[in-house]
Each structure stands twice: as C-alpha cells, then as structure tokens.
A and B are shown apart, each in its own frame.
Chain A
C-alpha cells in the first residue's frame, strides 16, 4: 500500500522534472499526462487498498474516482494537444519531423485546412437561436 503511494509520488515528481526540462508543448504534454494517469492512479489504488484492508471499507466512491481519472486524463491530454496543433503552436527547434504536416501536404489539404479553420473562427455566429 505504502509502496504504491511512494511509487505514485515518485512518478509525479519525475514528471514535474520533465515539465521543467522539456522544450515544447507536445513533449511537456507527454510528461504531464503520464503523471496524471500512472502516478495518481497508483496513489488512488494505494488509498483504496488501505481502506479495504485496514478499515474493512470498500469505498465505491474511490473506485469510481479511479475509473473516472483513468478514462478522462488521456482524453483531456489529447484534446489539449489537438487544439494546440490546430491553433498553430510551434514545435521545438530540435524536432526532426512533423508527420501530420507531411500527410496533410500529401493529401493537398494543408492550405484548405488552415484557411477553413481561420474562416470558421472569424465567421459571425448567425444561427437560429431558439
């Protein structure tokens, strides 16, 4: 139990080191999202095992929290990175390859994609309200 809590804390601390050291939004997301899933999941699992074996309480709320964190943390990281990529946050200078840009250029869709994104953000919102 204590081992799980210590391991989760160590993972979170290492990922905060990564948040300081890494040069880019995308690589920092790599570090921060792993802290959210692995580290926090180990801490919550340690708390669940502690309450199960010491107090004889099977806490359904904690179990629900574990499932919820496990489901939502990767989805949230993916949405942040997709929005960063579409709003044009630059990659770091030492990046060697942009695979998404290569694929979009191969499909001839890169210009259309960015123009539509810009126009759609600027278009006045004239919709049938109620």
Chain B
C-alpha cells in the first residue's frame, strides 16, 4: 500500500515532467518560457529523488538533492542575466 502510493507519486511527477517537456519543445514558446520550465523541471527532479530515497529506504541520494538545487539556481541566474543584458559576467570595473 505504502510502496504503491509512493510509486503513484513518482508516476504523477513523471507526468508533470512530460508536460513541462512538451511545453519546452513547443515552437510557440519564448526563451524566458523555456528557462522557467527548465527551472521547474529541475525542481520536479528534486522531488523525484526525495520520493525515490523514501521508496528505497536509503539516505545515499540526499546529496543529489543539494547538487541539483545548486546547479538549477546557478543556471537559471546565468540564463536570465544573459536574456536581460546579452552577457553574463561583467567585465567593466570603472563605471
């Protein structure tokens, strides 16, 4: 019962990942849209790792949560700065 409900949760998260991928690869979505959906995709992946570590009764996967979170945040910040200004790292020091 317990394991079946956890598998059901994993299936629902997989469905929402499929929905986000469908929205990313649609032709009419803009670049900001894709960045936003990649961000939410990585958060759904964090949830899947957490449910999987409950299902397998192990604490070995919990570093992956931190790692995916940090990578998602850095990638989102870099891509949104690129969309906004055209470059990511500022080189001018005297302004």
Docked Cα-Cα span, A9 to B87, in Å, equals 37
Please tell me if the beta carbons of B39 and A16 are within 8 angstroms of each other in the complex: no
Docked Cα-Cα span, A50 to B33, in Å, equals 35
Residue in contact with B12 in the complex, picked from A13, A29, A121, A122, CB distance below 8 Å: A13
Please tell me if the beta carbons of A25 and B15 are within 8 angstroms of each other in the complex: no
Residue in contact with A57 in the complex, picked from B36, B46, B47, B59, CB distance below 8 Å: B59
Chain B residues with CB under 8 Å of A44's CB are: 46-47, 50, 65
A89 is an interface residue with CB less than 8 A from chain B = yes
List residues of chain B with CB under 8 Å of any chain A CB.
2, 5-6, 9, 12-13, 15-16, 19-20, 22-23, 30, 32-33, 35-37, 39-40, 43-44, 46-47, 50-51, 53-54, 57, 59, 62-63, 65-66, 69-70, 72-73, 76-77, 80-81, 83-87, 91-94
Interface of B is mostly: helix
Chain B residues with CB under 8 Å of A128's CB are: 92-94
Min CB distance B27 to A, Å, is: 15
Min CB distance B81 to A, Å, is: 7
List residues of chain A with CB under 8 Å of any chain B CB.
2, 5-6, 8-10, 12-13, 15-17, 19-20, 25, 28-29, 32-33, 35-36, 39-40, 43-44, 46-47, 50-51, 55, 57, 59, 61-62, 64-65, 68-69, 72-73, 75-77, 79-84, 86-87, 89, 120-122, 125, 127-129
Count of A-B contacts judged by CB separation below 8 Å: 162
**Interchain residue pairs A-B with the least CB separation, the first 6:** A16-B16, A84-B32, A83-B84, A121-B86, A36-B43, A32-B40
Please tell me if the beta carbons of B36 and A13 are within 8 angstroms of each other in the complex: no
